[in-house]
Amino acid sequence: MQFKRYGIYYTPEPGALTAFGAAWLGWDLDTGTAVAHPNVMGLPLTVSDITATPRKYGLHGTIKPPFFLADGTDATGLNAALATFCAAQRQISMKGLVLARLGGFLALKIDGDQTPLANVASACVRELDAFRAPPSEAELARRRKAGLSEAQEALLMQWGYPYVMEEFRFHITLSGRLGEHADATRVALEPHVVPHLPRPFVVSGLTLVGEDEAGMFHTIQRHTFSA
């Protein structure tokens, strides 16, 4: 399959959280197929409406945000470089994940210190940046609509994305912006997702993903850390 953009994600290992997340979002990264939504009682909106924005990305935490390949590079080289990078990393163990409201949307975030993972994410962004094409003016304009700080603007210009390095906040997005419906959605979702949240939360590898022509993301290959 040909892909137009590539990204580097944390994706959970196959299991209960991965299965529920694929159904909740309606998209399975590993199989590249749509999945029927679960029946979750008490939601203020339909699951399809709640998950419309994050659906195409699948269940993931962004490490190096999606990018177009730079001239003179290809996906084979990127995949090999990611394999080399992962072989030099050690497994990370953190306290756990929690379901939380982040601004107007819901996500899973790290319970406790994210520094070990943030350090790996920053190194990944930096060491694989030769594969990233510079953002277009349209991309820059779209990012700036969020109202970036001076530091975020500098990161956007250097790395093509404003929420990397010191602005990195690991999260696994579960909804679009919900506004007044966010708290009710969280309450309804909690009994379905909280039992599957890992404790400890272990990151033992990273995943190369690709975006197809329809805008949906697919797993290309998982790479395991050295130990």
pLDDT tens for residues 120-138?
999 999 999 999 999 999 9
Find where tokens 């990204």 sit. Answer: 7
Instruction: Look up residue 213 and give its two tokens.
Output: 């022509």
Cβ-contact 172, 17 below 8 angstroms: no
pLDDT of residue 97: 97
* Residue 209 CB neighbour total at 10 angstroms: 24
- In which band, very low, low, confident or very high, does the pLDDT at 7 lie, cut at 50, 70 and 90? very high
First to last CA, the chain: 31
- Neighbouring residues of 76: CB distance < 8 A, sequence distance ≥ 6: none
The average pLDDT across 183-201 equals 96
- Homologous superfamily (CATH) of 5-137+168-224 is Cyclic phosphodiesterase (3.90.1140.10)
Q: What is the SS3 string spanning 8-24?
A: EEECCCCCHHHHHHHHH
- The answer on pLDDT for 47 being more than 90 is yes
Instruction: Look up residue 2 and give its two tokens.
Output: 């040909």
Tell me the sheet residues that pair with 218. 210
The average pLDDT across 45-73 equals 97
pLDDT of residue 118: 98
Instruction: Look up residue 109 and give its two tokens.
Output: 């975030």
Q: Where are the domains of the chain?
A: 5-137+168-224
Report the chain's mean pLDDT, rounded to a whole number. Answer: 96
- Pick from 2, 112, 107: nearest CA to 59: 107
CA distance 90 to 179: 39
- In which band, very low, low, confident or very high, does the pLDDT at 64 lie, cut at 50, 70 and 90? very high
Per-residue pLDDT tens digits for 88-124? 999 999 999 999 999 889 999 999 999 999 999 999 9
pLDDT of residue 143: 93
pLDDT of residue 138: 93
- Pick from 28, 25, 29: nearest CA to 47: 25
pLDDT of residue 1: 79
- In which band, very low, low, confident or very high, does the pLDDT at 23 lie, cut at 50, 70 and 90? very high
| Residue 91 amino acid letter | Q
The average pLDDT across 201-220 equals 97
H helices of the chain, in order, are 16-25, 47-50, 75-87, 115-127, 137-144, 150-159, 182-193
Cβ-contact 126, 160 below 8 angstroms: no
- In which band, very low, low, confident or very high, does the pLDDT at 146 lie, cut at 50, 70 and 90? confident
The average pLDDT across 183-188 equals 96
CA distance 53 to 203: 25
pLDDT of residue 103: 84
